[in-house]
Amino acid sequence: MKTPLFEQHCQGKLGADHLLNGSDIEQHLTTLSDWQQQENSLQATYSFGNFHETMAFVNAVAWIAHQQDHHPDLEVGYNRCLIRFTTHSAGGLTLNDFICAARVQRLSS
């Protein structure tokens, strides 16, 4: 049985040889209901009832990013957070992006 994405760990700095192809990206996207591919990134927007809840979520995302050493771009508002993952060193999507997205998605379930 394959290990779920949220239980896997990011690898170190990845190069272009680790970019996922279109079919791999589509397969991983089927496991992530909150996420969409936008060009060379994965993105999701999460909504909250107030600023306190939003910031608690942002801090949890920051902890995941720190643990995995894979950091997203965040846009934070009063009651929402837009998250974008991409592997800059590879120039697109790698397994690291999907691992972190799956871990973030678990926060909201």
What domains can be seen in the chain, in order of their start residue?
17-100+102-106 (3.30.1360.20)
Residue 9 tokens read as 């760990």
pTM (predicted TM-score): 0.93
pLDDT tens by residue, 43-75: 999 999 999 999 999 999 999 999 999 999 999
Using 50, 70 and 90 to split pLDDT, how confident is the model at 15?
confident
Binning pLDDT at 50, 70 and 90, where does residue 1 land?
A: low
- Residues 64 and 100 sit within 8 Å (Cβ to Cβ): yes
C-alpha R_g of the chain: 13
**Token pair belonging to 36:** 């969409």
